[in-house]
């Protein structure tokens, strides 16, 4: 089935509903899944949507094959009828699988749609967004053996102060595994609320004030004749 379009070009009947509930495109949903930024319900939706896309792609493949058989210059004989019948069976089987995958994806979408109606995703400062992105890739809180200064280490070397970490913890966006000694590093991870805040659509700022009209030009007095 190499002639099928890639996943990113294959649309499904649920794409609009998913994008409305998420406030983001299905491509961004998949990217967040690959980056490990989704909580369990959103990850389940991303996985179900991926399966639905694959099933939709198979339906498209057999439709194209059937159209080519019908419009080809092949001799109209029993061999052609057999190929058409076989392709029809394959198309019907692909359509049944697609319906099953769509039912599964719709069931995964329903609680997310209900949640989107109940609450508006929290907006967080840009600096905290950068911190959460860095923490999502792995972070540890260390205590220096000599100075006893606390510092957060991340693979991206993003600067996260202990004060900022405490604020993120207080807001329920991150959590520490305090079972590890501070000198060895306490793992810091995103909570479900942190993932939701990180993947929430960013609202545009307040509209800028309309430009004030240019000052009126002074009237030019005409010399009297």
List the domain boundaries for the chain: 7-118, 126-199
pLDDT at 213: 43
pLDDT at 181: 80
Give the integer Cα–Cα distance in Å for 4 and 9.
10
Enumerate residue ranges in the chain where pLDDT < 70.
Answer: 1-9, 116-122, 200-225
pLDDT at 71: 87
pLDDT at 203: 54
pLDDT at 74: 85
Name, in order, each residue with C-beta under 8 angstroms of 38's C-beta and a sequence gap of 6 or more.
Answer: 29, 32, 46, 195, 199
Give the closest residue to 182 by CA, choosing from 137, 151, 138: 151
Give the closest residue to 194 by CA, choosing from 176, 206, 179: 176
pLDDT at 62: 96
Query: Is this structure's pTM higher than 0.85?
Result: no
Query: What are the helix (H) ranges across 26-181?
Result: 26-34, 40-71, 78-118, 126-136, 162-170
Rounded to the nearest 5°, which phi and psi values hold at 188? -115, 125
Domain formed by 126-199, architecture: Orthogonal Bundle (1.10)
């Amino acid at each position: 089935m190499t002639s099928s379009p890639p996943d990113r070009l294959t649309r499904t009947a649920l794409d609009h509903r998913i994008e409305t509930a998420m406030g983001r495109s299905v491509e961004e949903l998949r990217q967040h899944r690959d980056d490990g930024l989704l909580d369990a319900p959103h990850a389940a939706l991303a996985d179900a949507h991926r399966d639905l896309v694959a099933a939709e792609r198979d339906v498209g493949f057999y439709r194209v094959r059937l159209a080519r058989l019908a419009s080809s210059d092949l001799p109209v004989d029993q061999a052609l009828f057999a190929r058409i019948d076989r392709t029809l069976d394959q198309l019907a089987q692909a359509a049944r699988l697609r319906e099953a995958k769509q039912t599964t994806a719709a069931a995964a979408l329903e609680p997310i749609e209900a949640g989107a109606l109940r609450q508006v995703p929290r907006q967080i400062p840009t600096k905290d967004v950068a911190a959460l992105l860095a923490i999502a890739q792995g972070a540890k809180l260390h205590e220096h053996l000599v100075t006893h200064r606390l510092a957060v280490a991340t693979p991206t070397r993003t600067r996260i102060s202990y004060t900022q970490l405490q604020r993120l913890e207080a807001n329920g966006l991150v959590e520490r595994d305090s079972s590890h000694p501070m000198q060895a590093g306490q793992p810091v991870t995103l909570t479900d609320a942190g993932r939701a805040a990180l993947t929430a659509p960013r609202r545009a700022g307040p509209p800028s004030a309309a430009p004030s009209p240019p000052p009126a030009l002074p009237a030019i007095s005409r010399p009297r004749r």
